[in-house]
Amino acid sequence: MSYDKQFDSLIGKSEQIKKICRLIGLIAKTKSTILIQGESGTGKEVVANAIYMHSLRNGAPFIKVNCAALSETLLESELFGHKKGSFTGAFEDRKGFFELANMGTIMLDEIGSMPLSGQAKLLRVLQEEEITPVGSARNLKIDVRVIATTNVVLNDATKKGMFREDLYYRLGVVTIFLPPLRDRKEDLSLLTDYFVEFFNTKLNKKVKGITEEAVKYLMDYDWPGNVRELRNVIENAMIMTETDYIELDAIPPLQMRFSRQSVCSVDLQGADLNLRNQLKIYERLIILNALQKSKWVKSKTAKLLGIDRRNLGYFIRKHDIVFPDDRPAWDS
């Protein structure tokens, strides 16, 4: 998946991605309202783009609206338009997003952020297939295909009274759940190759690929930012790479998962705000991250950190770093 206009396809070989592709093929040419749910960075907009491109409306307008950016006071005007003089600052008639998308598709991004008052108005539009611009006495018939996306679990939001249950069911005629990257690690190598190829063109590079050691490092990470985070990491690594292949030391530090409390026992949330103490905490994390990346090999760790190998021993003692029992043999 991707986040550039040039990317218009889903990348992956996992069963989850295959099922989503099959579902897109089934629903694209219908008019049914679609709800796309998934964590931030999983590619919801990519799926929406794919649905639009394979639909019978792909020559008609495709309007994308960020619901999180719509204030409650301006929401109705932005979505449904307004007439001249209907409120202070309305100096002329203005079409709303729904009218601009007429005969086409509208994507309501982060629909879970829409205030309840706006949800009620949206429900009416979906049911009646007509809008009423602010300040107008006339209803306008519209023909718009709605695709809504959210990183909020709307079913939970309805139970908390934060999202209308009737709108939730109206939006979710067809629901697509996008899995996080950590649940489809088999797609990571394909995604990585895809981004390397893309950034070769964008950055005028000739990188052939990524080393096996670097791939393993990426595979060991949980990717809380999902595909978007992977894209940013590969772009960073491509900028730093001057060889044929992306090597481990070109990849920026990732928020590593430490399985042993003895290896990493830093509680950032419980730390005080004293600058000296904060710097000590982050210094320890940097040392640990380098040790993890180099598989606890002293010479490699020192090289990653850009310090003399003798100085590494000082930092290890300073931060009371304990090594895992199953670590590889160190070089002396």
The number of helices, as runs of H, and strands, as runs of E, in the chain is 13, 9
Q: Is 236 a residue whose pLDDT tops 50?
A: yes
Structure tokens at 20: 């989503």
| 298 Cβ contact partners less than 8 Å away, ≥ 6 residues apart | 309, 312, 330, 331, 332
Assigned CATH for 181-255? 1.10.8.60
90 pLDDT band, cuts 50/70/90, is confident
Q: Which residue has the higher pLDDT, 125 or 85?
A: 125
- What DSSP string describes 132-168? --BT-SS-EE---EEEEEESS-HHHHHHTTSS-HHHH
Q: Is 39 a residue whose pLDDT tops 80?
A: yes
Query: pTM for the whole thing?
Result: 0.74
Q: Where are the domains of the chain?
A: 15-179, 181-255, 257-332
- What DSSP string describes 35-85? EEEE-TTS-HHHHHHHHHHTSTTTTS-EEEEEGGG--TTTHHHHHH-B-TT
CA distances from 193 to 13, 124, 203, 234, 235 (A): 13, 45, 15, 9, 12
Burial class (CB in 10 A: 0-12, 13-18, 19+), 189: middle
pLDDT digits (tens, 9 = 90+) for 40-71: 999 999 999 999 999 999 999 999 999 988 88
269 pLDDT band, cuts 50/70/90, is very low
Coil, strand, or helix at residue 272?
coil
Query: Domain 15-179, what fold?
Result: Rossmann fold (3.40.50)
* Orientation angle between helical segments 15-27 and 44-53, nearest 10 degrees: 40
Instruction: Tell me which of 18-32, 163-177, 252-266 is least confident.
Output: 252-266
What is the Cα–Cα distance from 182 to 226, expressed in whole angstroms?
Answer: 7
What is the Cα–Cα distance from 313 to 302, expressed in whole angstroms?
Answer: 10
171, amino acid identity: L
Give the CA-trace dihedral at 49, 54, 60, 62, to 10 degrees. -10
CA angle 90, 92, 94 (to 5 degrees): 90
| 23 Cβ contact partners less than 8 Å away, ≥ 6 residues apart | 174, 176
Question: Is 257-332 CATH 1.10.10?
Answer: yes
Cβ(145)–Cβ(30) below 8 Å: no
34 pLDDT band, cuts 50/70/90, is very high
What is the Cα–Cα distance from 288 to 264, expressed in whole angstroms?
Answer: 7
pLDDT digits (tens, 9 = 90+) for 148-193: 999 989 999 999 999 999 999 999 999 999 999 999 999 999 999 9
